[in-house]
Amino acid sequence: MAQKPVVYVSWYDCQQFLKRLTSPAPGWKYALPSEAQWEYACRAGSDAAYAHTRTDLGWIAVNSGGRRHAVGMKQPNAWGIMDMHGNVAEWCRDWVGPNNSEVAIRGGSWESDLSSRAAARNSDTPFLRINRVGFRLVIVREESLSAMHASSAFDISEIRTR
């Protein structure tokens, strides 16, 4: 059975979901990625806007048929990470916007072309629930999570890939 990404989930919904998860291993915790972590993973060592042609990597306006699709149906990037460009945009951990009143959203969606670039960023109210925004999780060291909340800088060695 095809698995489509979760949508209609607010940033606050994601926080509640994270609270219910148990630790994947001692000293590690699930979290939303920071914007820097998200872009680093998306680029996978490249400085190009896309790791391959954008329609090979993701469901965007020109090839989506106006809807989201099952995950894992497009090519992965150089690190084997799938669905970073398009299908659904993804909530990040970072607060941005005027007076830090919004939360960062990365990755574009099935309805856009340009916002699926690796460097493209959007933001919206953390209460937003729409059919083109979902989330992905990262695993981080517990002691580094509070430091990451205080700073947008991070050490990539603190990310564990599964």
pLDDT score of 98: 85
Residue 79 lies in a domain: yes
pLDDT score of 138: 95
Residue 161 lies in a domain: no
Residue 5 lies in a domain: no
pTM: 0.85
CATH code for the domain in which residue 104 is found = 3.90.1580.10
Residue 68 lies in a domain: yes
Residue 158 lies in a domain: no
- State the 10-residue block means of pLDDT for the chain, 162 residues long: 88 97 95 96 85 77 94 92 93 92 94 84 95 96 68 40 36
pLDDT score of 57: 83
Residue 98 lies in a domain: yes
Residue 6 lies in a domain: no
Range of the domain at 58: 11-153
Task: Give whole-number Cα distances, 5 to 23, 47, 68, 90, 153, in Å.
Answer: 22, 27, 8, 10, 28
pLDDT score of 106: 95
The H or E element spanning position 141 is: strand 138-141
Residue 72 lies in a domain: yes
* Selection from 116, 15, 19, 104 nearest residue 68 by Cα: 116
C-alpha–C-alpha distance, residues 44 and 64, integer Å = 24
What's the domain count of the chain?
1
Q: What are phi and psi of 39, to 5 degrees?
A: -65, -40
Helix (H, G, I), strand (E, B) or coil at 77: coil
pLDDT score of 153: 40
Q: What are phi and psi of 10, to 5 degrees?
A: -80, 170
